[in-house]
Structure formats: C-alpha cells, structure tokens
C-alpha cells in the first residue's frame, strides 16, 4: 500500500463533510479547512504519481481546493486515492497520458455543478433535503447490490476472483446490514417526501435514523474490508480496489445528504460572510463540457501518436463522455438527471483508465 495515497484518501474523506458543514452552517472557517485538506491531499498524491489512479486523483484534489470547492469533488478524489493506494504501479515505460487529467478536471467541475444545482434553494432543480437523502441512500443500496458480483445480499463479500479470492465474512455481515438499513431508510424517507404533511413526519424521522445507521455501517464495512484485505492478501486487495472505492463514494454521498438534512440553517443569503461570489452552476457545467471535449481531443491525438490512428476504444469512450457533456448543457427539462449522467459517464471513463 502506498502510504502517501492512503493519507490523501483520509484527508479528502475528512474534507468532504467539512465542506458540507461549512456551507450548511455558513461557517467560512470550515470551508477553508476543507480546502486546506484537499490541497494537502493533492500534494501527497504527487508522491504517488507513478500509479495511474493517483494522477486524476491529484487533479480532483487540487480542483476541490481551488476551482470547485464542494464536497462531491473531494469524495471523488478520495475514491480515486483509495485505488491509487492499493493498486501497485505498472511496469516502467507504460506511458503517461494527458487526457485523463483533463477528464478529471471536467469531472470535478461537473460534480460541483451537479451538487450546486441540487442544493441551491433558488435553483429550479432543487430536490429538497428529503429527496436527496432518499436518493443518496438508494445510491448506496445500488452500490452494495452490484459490488463483488452481488454477493452482499447473500451475506458474502470477498476480494479478488478465482484462486486468489479472499473471503471476508465479517465485512459481508456488516455490509449486508448496511444494505438493509439503507434500503429501509431510503423507502421511509421517500414516503416522507411524498406525504402531504412533511414537517415533523414520523416516516422522515425513522428514515433519517435508518440512513444514519446505514451510512455508519457502510463506512465500517469498507474499513473492515480494507483492513482484512491488507492483512491477508495485498494482491486481492488491489483486485477489489474499484469495489472499495465505489462503496466509499456511495457512503460519502449519503453522509453529505444527511449533513444537509441535519445541519443548522445556512447564514442569511446562503453564503459565507465576506465570501467571494461563486460562478453559477450553469457556467461551471459549461466549463465541464468544454473540458470533456478537450479530453476527447487529447485522447484522439495521443491515440494517433502512439497507435497511428484515432479510431481507438479510448477515444470512443472519451468522445461518449464529451457527448454526455453536450447533452447536459442543453436548456431543456431534466437538467439534474442529465448532469448526473454526465458525472457518471466521466467517472466510468476514469475508472476504466485507472
């Protein structure tokens, strides 16, 4: 395990809730602390730059510190840092690609725009804290259903595959409980959001408590799986890096949604006292789409330079991400859904490149 990348992942995991708390409570000191942690994490990731996942993780961390200071870019960088920490560096001479760095910048901008549109009270895309918590809980449920080939619903979880697979029954039990609590909490929170009288709803209170349990058990399960995997087989831990990163990201998204629901109301005007006005989410989304187009162009140039043609799988995937960006910026309905698909597309693109 790379200690610099692991320390960066911990710093970014702490920076995300600090950013959410700072915005919810209107406390600039928390926001500055979050930015500082993200910047430190970016510097730490530079020491692990030989590992492919550390490069986009560093770009995401620096973007979270300077360009897109919100919790979701911090979480995305933390997930990438986890992959960089447990996956060894490839053999020397494997090449250095520029397009993933540009794509990571596009992902940071798109994630910031998505979070801003979802949380801004004056935004037409604002879902409300109850729906955000329900959807975040559903995201965690979906992640737990998918990882490890769907073994968690059967109370099984392991790292690796075939003869190198390491079964982790303790982690499977904890993650299975997180799945049940998160599913029940999401359904209860959705019932609360659909009810006519939402203020002080019993379903909302029950759903909130269940989601808190689900997030806590999910985070504990990820920690147990990583600890057991590191102690038993570093090779299997590296093989399960994407699963661990996906669960960490899902738990973090749920925590951000719960912080927004539980935190005290924001300061008057919805901004920090003396803070500089941020660019609107729409402008940020346009910048993300432009960066995605630039990443596709860079992938085409690098493919032509290395393979003699731009008709490669990497170029096709990068172009698909750029197309999702063009779709996301169109002034039509379902803007939040289109922005979310753009973020998911870029995330999948970088996951394949790592």
Q: In this structure, are residues 2 and 8 in contact, taking their beta carbons and an 8 Å threshold?
A: no
DSSP code string of 15-32: HHHHHHHHHHHT-HHHHH
The C-alpha torsion from 76 through 99 and 313 to 239, rounded to 10°, is -40
Residue 143 has pLDDT above 80, yes or no: yes
pLDDT at residue 110 in the model = 92
pLDDT at residue 204 in the model = 82
* Length, in residues, of the chain: 354
Residue 125 has pLDDT above 50, yes or no: no
Mean pLDDT of 294-323: 87
Q: In this structure, are residues 33 and 18 in contact, taking their beta carbons and an 8 Å threshold?
A: yes
CA distance 203 to 112: 30
What percentage of the chain carries pLDDT values higher than 70?
90
The model's confidence at residue 268, banded by pLDDT at 50, 70 and 90, is very low
Rg, C-alpha atoms of the chain: 20
Mean pLDDT of 268-289: 60
DSSP code string of 258-303: HHHHHSPPPPGGGS-TTPPPPPPHHHHHHHHHHHHHHHHHHHHHHH
Q: DSSP H helical segments within 124-240, as ranges?
A: 129-150, 169-194, 202-232, 234-239
Q: What is the pLDDT of residues 63-82, one digit of tens each?
A: 999 887 888 999 999 999 99
Q: In this structure, are residues 157 and 222 in contact, taking their beta carbons and an 8 Å threshold?
A: no
Residue 252 has pLDDT above 90, yes or no: yes
Residue 339 has pLDDT above 50, yes or no: yes
The model's confidence at residue 332, banded by pLDDT at 50, 70 and 90, is confident
Residue 277 has pLDDT above 60, yes or no: no
Q: What is the pLDDT of residues 28-71, one digit of tens each?
A: 888 899 999 999 999 999 999 888 889 999 999 999 998 878 88
Q: What is the pLDDT of residues 168-194, one digit of tens each?
A: 888 889 999 999 999 999 999 988 888
pLDDT at residue 267 in the model = 40
CA distance 345 to 283: 20
Record the tokens describing residue 46, joined without a space: 């530079």
Mean pLDDT of 188-216: 83
pLDDT at residue 265 in the model = 46
Record the tokens describing residue 110, joined without a space: 């798109």
């Amino acid at each position: 395990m790379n200690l610099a990348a692991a320390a960066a992942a911990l710093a970014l995991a702490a920076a995300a809730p600090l950013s959410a708390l700072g915005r919810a409570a209107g406390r600039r000191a928390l926001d500055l602390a979050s930015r500082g942690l993200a910047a430190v994490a970016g510097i730490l990731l530079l020491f692990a730059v030989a590992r492919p996942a550390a490069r986009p993780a560093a770009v995401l961390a620096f973007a979270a510190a300077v360009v897109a200071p919100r919790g979701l870019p911090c979480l995305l960088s933390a997930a990438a840092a986890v992959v960089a920490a447990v996956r060894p560096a490839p053999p020397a001479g494997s090449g250095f690609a520029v397009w993933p760095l540009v794509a990571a910048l596009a992902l940071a901008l798109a994630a910031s725009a998505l979070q801003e549109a979802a949380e801004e009270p004056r935004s037409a895309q604002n879902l409300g804290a109850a729906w955000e918590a329900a959807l975040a809980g559903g995201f965690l449920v979906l992640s737990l259903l998918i990882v490890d080939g769907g073994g968690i619903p059967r109370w099984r979880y392991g790292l690796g595959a075939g003869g190198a697979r390491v079964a982790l029954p303790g982690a499977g039990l904890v993650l299975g409980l997180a799945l049940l609590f998160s599913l029940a909490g999401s359904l209860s929170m959705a019932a609360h959001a659909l009810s006519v009288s939402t203020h002080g709803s019993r379903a909302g209170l029950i759903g909130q408590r269940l989601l808190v349990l689900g997030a806590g058990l999910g985070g504990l399960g990820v920690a147990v799986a990583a600890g057991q995997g590191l102690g038993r087989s570093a090779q299997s831990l590296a093989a399960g890096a994407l699963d661990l990163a996906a669960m960490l990201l899902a738990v973090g998204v749920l925590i951000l949604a719960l912080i927004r629901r539980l935190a005290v109301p924001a300061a008057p005007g919805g901004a920090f006292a003396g803070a500089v006005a941020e660019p609107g989410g729409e402008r940020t989304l346009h910048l993300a789409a432009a960066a995605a187009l630039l990443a596709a162009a860079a992938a085409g140039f690098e493919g032509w330079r290395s393979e003699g043609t731009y008709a490669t799988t990497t170029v096709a995937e990068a172009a698909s991400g750029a197309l999702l960006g063009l779709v996301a910026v169109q002034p039509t309905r379902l803007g939040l859904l289109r922005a979310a698909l753009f973020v998911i597309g870029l995330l999948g693109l970088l996951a394949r490149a790592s």
